[in-house]
Structure 1
Amino acid sequence: IADSDDELVPETFEVFMKTWNDIPVEKRINYCGVAACCRDQFGKRISDQVPGGVFDGGFRELFYKYKFRKEVFMINKTAMMREFPFPEHIRNVLVPEALTWRIMTDKYKLRFINDEMRTYYIDEPNSLSAIKRRSPHSKALSSCLESGNVLNNDLRYFIFSPLYFFRMALVYQSFRPFLNNQERKWVFLKPFAKTFAFPFIFAGWAYSRIMMSRFQKKSGV
């Protein structure tokens, strides 16, 4: 998966094909694809190091147990993309791709390699990173979808990254006030996740006011 503001190194597909062929034929049915690392337009690596140089597993384990939390570039089997399509009922908002990748790699393994195959352009005017400059309202749904998904499905990894889960609870409570009625139907917490996030309601509400104030100052509203 690549965006319009990305660039692939010339040998990308050759490396991916070799990596895929290194997986024994009889085991490939258990794999969804191959993932590699990234660098920026100045040649600086922006991905974390893949443990052991090659890692077979899923995003949740790699993220929480091995602290691999930065950009990757991946190629998945067509059958996997059909089995795990991006949500189409949520329109006009950037739904985090990570939601789909986590579910996919819960069922199938992904082979991660340390090679840097994608050039990821940062701080460019047309980069998708410009999303950070949008209003809290426009970021609310995607932020709540991602943080809500983490709280609903990943709390079993709490012991590995407690501060991360506290931050996700704060993010959820901070952006939830900006959701409209329709968006709130798409975002919900399971009972245990709701209990976990409850203590952050006041802090989230306070931070939502701060975010709105900062945005209004920057935009001259």
Structure 2
Amino acid sequence: MAPLPGPQFTVFTASYNRAHTLPRVYASLKAQTLRDFEWLIVDDGSTDGTAELVAGWAAEADFPIRYLVQDHGGKHKAANLGAREAHGELFLPLDSDDECRPEALERFAAHWAGIPESQRASFSAVTALCDDQHGEIVGSRFPRDPTDSDALEIRYRYHVTGEKWGFQTTAVRREFPFPEVDGQPNVPDAIVWNRISRSYRTRFVNEVLRTYHVDGNDSITQQSRSSAVWRAPAFALRWRVTLNEELDWFRHDPRWFVRAAANYSRFSWDQGRSFRDQGRDLTSPKARLLHAATAPLGWVLHRRDRAAAAA
């Protein structure tokens, strides 16, 4: 696939009322040793002065800063808009409350260039490790350095856990947009990454390039934790995709798929969908059997969600 006629990287940030944390991202980008990038911010309807803040940075920065605004519709919709509007060849999301190493873009470019030219068309991404603000690596390392694999194998065969960070080619991100679920602040990333895995490989490297801020109420992760009933459409979709598209990995982690089936029925009931309707959306006899076997657990979890919502 031919590179886009623009910078090598689009660093993409979705933001909603994050004027108090965006300076951390800006400082990280000002310090980058590789300068062939643009910063694309998609504002999800902020009301906290983000526009004025970004305008000041755009006037002084020595790299392009582009600022787009959408009606408040969620991070997944902002990501799709960002991928459509990106000018860079490589699309690198950086959350509005995180930071990265000064050499992050330079190292990503080097790892991408290190994939043999004859193989690169089969790759879409490079993914690295994260640490937290206390310097501790988040989750586990990859089995080799580098590991040429995909998100499904990394999850199911190698059981790698924890927050990771990397880019996809912009062309592939456009090919695999996030499902747009109305009324949801986010759709789980795994839906997209696992779908990409069936067509493209990733180079995974044991190098820490991003700091993921995990403590306190400023974290996007903390802010997005809410009623399970409210988030039910996105969560039900996540587990339905797991059952329909990933069951060939069952033998590597059967307990995960038992959990997936129970959560699929749980969040489907949270939405008000009947057991029969749930089954109709599953595409294989194995998925329907697992769904039926775990339905009692899903019902217990559903009732707990309803009790918590009513409290």
CA distance in 2, matches of 1:154, 1:140: 20
2:302 alignment partner in structure 1: 208
SS of alignment partner, residue 115 of structure 1: strand
1:147-182 superposed Cα distances (whole Å, 9 cap, x missing partner): 11111111111111111111111111211111156x
Q: For 1:1-221, what aligned pairs fall within 5 Å after superposition?
A: 1-88=93-180, 90-93=181-184, 94-130=186-222, 133-179=225-271, 188-192=281-285, 193-216=287-310, 221=311
TM-score calculated relative to the size of structure 2: 0.64
Per the TM alignment, residue 26 of structure 1 is displaced from its structure 2 partner at its CA by: 2.0
Counterpart amino acid of 2:162?
Answer: K
Counterpart amino acid of 2:202?
Answer: L
99-108 or 130-139: bigger deviation: 130-139
CA distance in 1, matches of 2:152, 2:229: 28
SS of alignment partner, residue 129 of structure 1: helix
CA distance in 1, matches of 2:218, 2:192: 25
User: Percentage identity across aligned positions?
Assistant: 31
Please tell me the root mean square deviation across aligned C-alpha atoms, in Å.
1.9
Per the TM alignment, residue 123 of structure 1 is displaced from its structure 2 partner at its CA by: 2.8
Say whether the 8 Å CA contact 2:229–2:309 is kept in structure 1: no
Structure 1: state its 5+ residue gaps: none
1:20-64 superposed Cα distances (whole Å, 9 cap, x missing partner): 111111211111021111111111101311111211121111110
CA distance in 2, matches of 1:29, 1:203: 44
SS of alignment partner, residue 114 of structure 1: strand
SS of alignment partner, residue 308 of structure 2: helix
TM-score calculated relative to the size of structure 1: 0.89
CA distance in 1, matches of 2:225, 2:105: 34
CA distance in 2, matches of 1:127, 1:138: 20
Greater length-normalized contact order (CA 8 Å, ≥ 6 residues apart)? 1
Q: Report how many residues are paired.
A: 213
Distance 1:33 1:174, change over 3 A: same
Q: Say which one has the larger Rg.
A: 2
SS of alignment partner, residue 36 of structure 1: strand
Say whether the 8 Å CA contact 1:123–1:129 is kept in structure 2: no
Greater helix share, structure number: 1
CA distance in 2, matches of 1:190, 1:54: 35
